[in-house]
């Protein structure tokens, strides 16, 4: 009997996370799907079959991150082979109009949660000498636009976190990959109506979630001796 490789994917109920979950299961992995809302998560897990498992949790809560890390490690009998820190919030507002609670929620979900989840799962990967951690950056991890203060601050921070991990893990066998797409047509854009906003990319001209999942799969499926440090994606 062959042992299946395992993956933990945050924000797996829709968009990029769901596309990647489908790809990982198609490639033969056993996958833990994490997101807050149980119903779509469980529906996706059911559609993907017995290699997909739903773990509803709010990653903005440090206690919930610790609890889900324990739960998944127990179910997988160890840290996963692949951790994808993908869950994210996108809020548009100027600095003067940004609700401080919304600002904190973006930083907590996009930056603090990946730190906490990685911190919980990394020690065993390091001891084992294998594993891949994928961080979902954005075009906004290097470029700042008006109304993007909270999101860009979180993504710049996330890129720094990734670069620190890369430096700390070089030579350990644990790989770290930053994947930074431009606009991707996912439900993230539903409340924002980019087609009607001057200066925004129309949805039909955005990348597809499967394009990003494909790029992530390319990075993680390289030989173990190869670390793709960073991938930046845009529409041709």
Q: In what order do the strands lie in the sheet with 6-10?
A: 52-56, 30-35, 6-10, 82-85, 131-136, 174-181, 230-233
Q: Which of residues 42 and 51 has its CB atom nearest to ligand NAP in the complex? A: 42
**Of residues 43 and 95, the one with the C-beta less far from ligand NAP:** 43
10 Å CB burial of residue 56 (0-12, 13-18, 19+) is: middle
On whether the CB atoms of residues 120 and 66 are closer than 8 A, the answer is yes
- Residue of 151, 154, 176, 220 marked catalytic: 151
CA distance 191 to 194: 9
Four-CA torsion 14, 87, 220, 204, nearest 10 degrees:
50
Binding segment toward ligand NAP, per CB under 6 A, in 46-54, 56-64, 116-124, 125-133: 56-64
The reply on whether position 13 binds ligand NAP by CB under 6 A is: yes
Are the beta carbons of 203 and 185 closer than 8 angstroms? yes
Active site (annotated) includes residue 156: no
Q: Which of 9, 45, 82, 136 binds ligand NAP (CB under 6 A)?
A: 136
Residue 68 in contact with residue 55, Cβ under 8 Å? yes
- 118 makes contact with ligand NAP (CB under 6 A): no
Polymer length of the chain: 236
The binding track of 69-98 with respect to ligand NAP, each residue x by CB under 6 A or -, is -----------------xxxxx--------
Q: Which of 15, 80, 131, 149 binds ligand NAP (CB under 6 A)?
A: 15
Contact status, residue 236 vs residue 217, Cβ threshold 8 Å: no
**Of 129 and 218, which CB lies nearer to ligand NAP in the complex structure?**
218
Site string for ligand NAP, 141-180 (x = CB under 6 A): ----------------------------------------
Nearer to ligand NAP, 170 or 218 (CB): 218
For ligand NAP, which residue of 14, 22, 23, 53 counts as binding (CB under 6 A)? 14
Q: Which residues of 176-212 are buried (b: 16+ CB within 10 A; e: fewer)?
A: bbbbbbbbbbbebbeeeebeeeeebbeeeebbebebb
In the complex, the smallest distance separating the C-beta of residue 146 from ligand NAP, rounded to whole angstroms, is 17
CB atoms < 10 A from the CB of 78, how many? Answer: 16
- Select 142 or 170, whichever has its Cβ closest to ligand NAP: 142
Structure tokens at 24: 């990982």
Binding of ligand NAP at residue 186 (CB under 6 A)? yes
Residues labelled as active-site residues? 151
Positions that interact with ligand NAP (CB under 6 A):
10-17, 34-37, 58-60, 86-90, 109, 136, 138, 181, 183-184, 186-188
């Amino acid at each position: 009997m062959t042992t299946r490789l395992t993956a933990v994917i945050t924000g797996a109920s829709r968009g990029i996370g769901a596309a990647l979950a489908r790809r990982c299961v198609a490639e033969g992995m056993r996958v833990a799907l994490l997101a807050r809302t149980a119903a779509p998560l469980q529906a996706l897990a059911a559609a993907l079959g017995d290699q997909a498992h739903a773990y509803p949790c709010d990653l903005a809560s440090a206690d919930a991150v610790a609890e889900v890390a324990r739960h998944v490690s127990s179910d997988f009998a160890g840290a996963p082979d692949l951790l994808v820190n993908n869950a994210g919030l996108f809020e548009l507002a100027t600095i003067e109009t940004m609700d401080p609670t919304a600002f904190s929620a973006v930083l907590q979900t996009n930056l603090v949660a990946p730190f906490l989840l990685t911190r919980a799962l990394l020690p065993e990967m390091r001891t084992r000498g294998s594993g891949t951690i994928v961080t979902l950056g954005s075009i906004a991890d290097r470029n700042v636009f008006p109304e993007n203060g909270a999101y860009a601050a979180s993504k710049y921070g996330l890129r720094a976190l990734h670069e620190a991990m890369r430096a700390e893990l070089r030579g350990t066998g644990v790989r770290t990959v930053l994947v930074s797409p431009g606009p991707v047509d996912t439900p993230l854009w539903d409340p924002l109506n980019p087609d009607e906003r001057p200066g925004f990319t129309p949805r039909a001209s955005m990348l597809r979630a499967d394009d990003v999942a494909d790029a992530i799969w390319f990075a993680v499926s390289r030989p173990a001796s190869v670390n793709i440090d960073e991938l930046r994606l845009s529409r041709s």
